Structure 1
């Protein structure tokens, strides 16, 4: 009863047989230092290749990472190109507006207009107010300011970047308008 499993195996002779089989298989390798070689058994072998068209997970991740990197790089290049074009348009408009701004320091009236979904205002005198309402003058937005300019300059700004033209009344639309709203019921 006090015999351990090892002792029982040695008595039965099974352990000796296993040791003798191992020695018979590798007689050319002498044991080092009198101890049997330690290890996990057989050396690590690479997994078999799949030839039926399936790709392994690492390859799929590598392909995905590469496509994401190229997509990111393309998006960055596109954003840089858009920024460059915006800077060029802004420089053209700034050069066009030099000396053409008609804003005055001492004015007594305010012209309200809608721009960017909000009601904005620009300070003008009486002459400029009538000219704005007739379409002879326009308003251009630049660097957070609203600048009063002539109709020709406003048209040129529209051709460069229509988003910066804040107000330009169309004289043709004024001729068609009789001052009575279309939805007014008599």
Structure 2
């Protein structure tokens, strides 16, 4: 039972014992018969293809192209970031002093923005004006700012993504239950 796996295979006759010394001799004899030497093949220099471009030159061209593409992508990302900053500054300048939010407002006005239901608190007069389309809501810096319609339209012209709610006065109406049609609960 203490026999190794090798010994067990040898006893069963499945595997014949081959000496380690004979293996290299057999291999060199076979290669001599085929007309080859036992030496490992030498590395040959990279051969040029039909266009005359060797492998090293192809890799260099590829690396240069990729570096140029990365540089263009970085420049484009920097330009987009600059444009976003300019839009943000213009909107911030527009909203300065024009916010109509009141800290004592107690009536919630729900609206959809960014695929979610959002809420802004207004008083009764602001709610009526917001539903009539006289006021609008602008998203700026994670907050929702209540502004006059003109300001909201200017913000929409700069960047429509920041315009959270602006009811069209032509379509603003009240449903059968007395609740505005565009009011979401």
| Matches for 1:5-154 after TM superposition, within 5 Å | 47=45, 50=48, 52-154=50-152
User: 1:174 deviation in Å?
Assistant: 2.5
Q: Distance in 1 between matches of 2:159 and 2:139?
A: 11
Alignment RMSD (CA, Å): 2.4
TM-score by length of 1: 0.67
The 1:171–1:58 alpha-carbon spacing in structure 2 relative to 1, beyond 3 Å, is same
Structure showing greater Rg? 1
TM-score by length of 2: 0.67
Which runs of no fewer than 5 residues in structure 1 stay unpaired?
Answer: 1-45, 181-186
Which runs of no fewer than 5 residues in structure 2 stay unpaired?
Answer: 1-43, 178-185
Deviation string 1:29-62 (CA, Å, 9 cap, x unpaired) is xxxxxxxxxxxxxxxxx94874841421111111
Q: Distance in 1 between matches of 2:49 and 2:65?
A: 24
Structure 1 stretches of 4+ with a deviation exceeding 2 A read: 46-52, 177-180
